[in-house]
C-alpha cells in the first residue's frame, strides 16, 4: 500500500479533504496530514471538518511518500508562499510521484512553477491563472497528465478519487 501526504491548512474545502482521505485510507493506504505546524487544528471553510496537523512540513521529506494530495478551498492560498511547501511539492514532482490537486490545489503547483506544458484543470475561475503559469487548461472532472491528477470542484470528487486509486 502507498503512503500519501495530504497538504492542509485552515479554510480547506471540507469534502475535498474528507472524501479523498476517507476513500484512500479505506482502501488501505496510509495517510499523513502535513501542514505548517504540528499539532495545529485546522478547520474546513464550511465548519464540517476539522483535522490536526500530524507532521510539520519541516519534518517531512518527499522520499517518505508515494503520493501527495492537495485539497482545495483557501488552504492552498495559505500554503503557497511557504518555501518548505514549495520544495516538498517540487521534490515529489521531480521524483515523478503522483500529485492529486483539486479545486484551488493547483495554485500550489503554479507557485512551485510545475505547470509549464502540463494539461490540468482547476476551479474554473482560476483558468487564466493556470494558463499564465504555463498550463494547458482543460475543463473536465478529472484530468490526468503524467503524475498529475487534477479536478475542479466537489462534484468531481468521485472521479478524482477513482483516478487516484487507479495509480496507487
Catalytic residues: 103
Note whether 96 and 67 are within 8 A (CB): no
Count of helices and strands (H, E) across the chain: 6, 11
d(CA 86, CA 46): 26
d(CA 116, CA 36): 27
Amino acid at each position: 500500500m502507498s503512503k500519501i501526504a495530504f497538504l492542509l491548512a485552515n479554510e480547506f474545502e471540507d469534502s475535498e479533504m474528507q472524501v479523498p482521505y476517507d476513500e484512500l485510507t479505506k482502501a488501505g493506504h496510509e495517510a499523513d496530514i502535513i501542514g505548517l505546524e504540528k499539532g495545529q487544528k485546522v478547520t474546513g471553510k464550511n465548519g464540517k471538518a476539522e483535522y490536526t496537523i500530524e507532521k510539520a512540513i519541516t519534518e517531512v521529506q518527499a522520499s517518505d511518500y508515494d503520493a501527495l494530495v492537495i485539497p482545495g478551498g483557501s488552504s492552498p492560498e495559505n500554503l503557497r508562499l511557504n518555501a518548505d511547501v514549495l520544495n516538498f511539492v517540487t521534490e515529489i514532482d521531480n521524483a515523478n510521484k503522483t500529485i492529486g490537486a483539486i479545486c484551488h490545489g493547483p495554485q500550489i503547483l503554479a507557485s512551485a512553477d510545475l505547470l509549464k506544458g502540463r494539461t490540468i484543470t482547476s476551479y474554473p475561475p482560476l483558468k487564466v491563472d493556470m494558463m499564465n503559469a504555463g498550463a494547458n487548461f482543460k475543463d473536465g472532472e478529472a484530468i490526468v497528465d503524467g503524475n498529475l491528477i487534477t479536478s475542479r470542484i466537489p462534484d468531481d470528487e468521485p472521479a478524482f478519487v477513482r483516478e487516484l486509486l487507479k495509480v496507487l
